[in-house]
């Protein structure tokens, strides 16, 4: 019986995870992969697709990590796609299947701005973005802000009504700048349904925090 968090592809995970970077980033660690896999399985159950391709895409989508505040951030998904090609060739995968996985990985990133070409790519993008919203998304946002040395919010005009939003400097700015917009970009009906449930938590937290700080 496959007891892996990536069941029924525990063996594939066993072969690919040793290549996962040890960056110390708790927002993009193996537990993130596990959550994305659970999201992907939930979407796949309704939308279909090739589950093995989806498993490889989830396991490898962050196999190259670029810090959020790096000027090279927009290249992260392309670099991960290239690395995925190398790793899957070593496992003897056929080129068409490798390319489907690589395409899904390259298009999963918000920063890349690429529309997924395959169903597996659409599911991966949705599954990954689900982990960026809701309670877990809130935790990841402030964790990442702490790693970047950001402040919690701008003391003057926390909403950003009279200043440009700057989520590299103020964590709360990441909500209107990106997180609250993600729900509009989900690729599958199931993903959108799940996203709307998590969106409420984001909105309530954002408005609640603004109320507490007197904005």
Please tell me the distance from the alpha carbon of residue 79 to that of residue 199, in angstroms, as a whole number. Answer: 30
Give the contacts of 72 (CB within 8 A, at least 6 positions apart).
66
The dihedral region occupied by 149, where left means phi > 0, alpha psi between -120 and 50, and beta the remainder, is left
Walk along the chain (215 residues) and give the pLDDT tens digit of each residue: 668 899 999 999 999 999 888 778 888 899 999 999 999 999 999 999 999 999 999 999 999 987 776 666 678 899 999 999 999 999 999 999 999 999 999 999 887 788 999 999 999 999 999 999 999 999 999 999 999 999 999 999 999 999 999 999 999 999 999 999 999 999 999 999 999 999 999 999 999 999 999 87
Question: Which pairs count as long-range contacts for 184-188, CB under 8 Å and 24+ apart, including other chains?
Answer: 185/129, 186/126, 186/129, 187/116, 187/122, 187/123, 187/125, 187/126, 188/43, 188/46, 188/47, 188/122, 188/123, 188/126
The end-to-end CA distance of the chain, in Å, is 54
Please tell me the distance from the alpha carbon of residue 122 to that of residue 119, in angstroms, as a whole number. Answer: 5
Contact yes or no for 181/199 (Cβ under 8 A): no
Task: Please count the other Cβ atoms lying within 10 Å of the Cβ belonging to residue 47.
Answer: 18
* CATH code, residues 132-215: 1.20.58.1910
Domain ranges, ordered by start, for the chain: 1-113, 132-215
């Amino acid at each position: 019986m496959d007891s892996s968090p990536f069941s029924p592809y525990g063996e594939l995970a066993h072969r690919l995870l040793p290549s996962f970077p040890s960056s110390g980033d708790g927002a993009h660690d193996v537990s993130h992969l596990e959550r994305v896999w659970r999201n992907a399985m939930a979407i796949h159950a309704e939308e279909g697709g090739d589950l093995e391709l989806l498993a490889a895409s989830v396991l490898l989508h962050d196999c190259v990590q670029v810090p959020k505040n790096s000027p090279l951030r927009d290249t992260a998904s392309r670099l991960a796609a290239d690395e995925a090609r190398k790793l899957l060739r070593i496992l003897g995968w056929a080129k068409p299947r490798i390319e489907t996985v690589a395409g899904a990985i390259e298009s999963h990133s918000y920063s890349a701005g690429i529309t997924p070409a395959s169903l597996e790519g659409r599911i991966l993008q949705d599954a990954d973005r689900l982990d960026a919203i809701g309670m877990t998304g809130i935790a990841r946002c402030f964790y990442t802000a702490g790693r970047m040395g950001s402040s919690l919010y701008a003391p003057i005009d926390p909403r950003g009504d009279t200043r440009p939003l700057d989520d590299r400097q103020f964590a709360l700015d990441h909500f209107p700048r990106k997180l609250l917009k993600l729900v509009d970009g989900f690729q599958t009906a199931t993903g959108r349904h799940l996203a709307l449930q998590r969106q409420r938590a984001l909105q309530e937290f954002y408005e609640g925090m603004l109320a507490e700080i007197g904005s």
